[in-house]
Amino acid sequence: MYVCICNNLTSKKIEKAVNDGISDTKNIYSYYNCSPKCGKCVSFVNDMLSNKTSFSNSNT
């Protein structure tokens, strides 16, 4: 699922960054060498990071 259309960030990309140790929204964008443009995705990325345990549960 696309999380950020402006930067072509998908939920899988967010999951990969989290699995690689990224733990905050600013660094998610830095990890992919981009920054929020319209800003509509930021709250969703924040929600994904606060629920990051669901990533590890989905891999089982």
The CATH number linked to 45 is 1.10.10.1100
pLDDT score for 53: 52
Question: Based on the structure, what is the number of domains in the chain?
Answer: 1
Give mean pLDDT, residues 24-42.
95
pTM above 0.85, yes or no: no
C-beta atoms surrounding 14 within 10 Å: 25
Q: Is the confidence at residue 24, as pLDDT, over 80?
A: yes
Predicted confidence band at 1 (pLDDT cuts at 50, 70, 90)? very high
Residue 60 within any structural domain of the chain = no
Q: Is residue 51 part of a domain?
A: yes
Task: Give me the pLDDT at residue 4, please.
Answer: 96
Q: Tell me, what's the pLDDT at 60?
A: 42
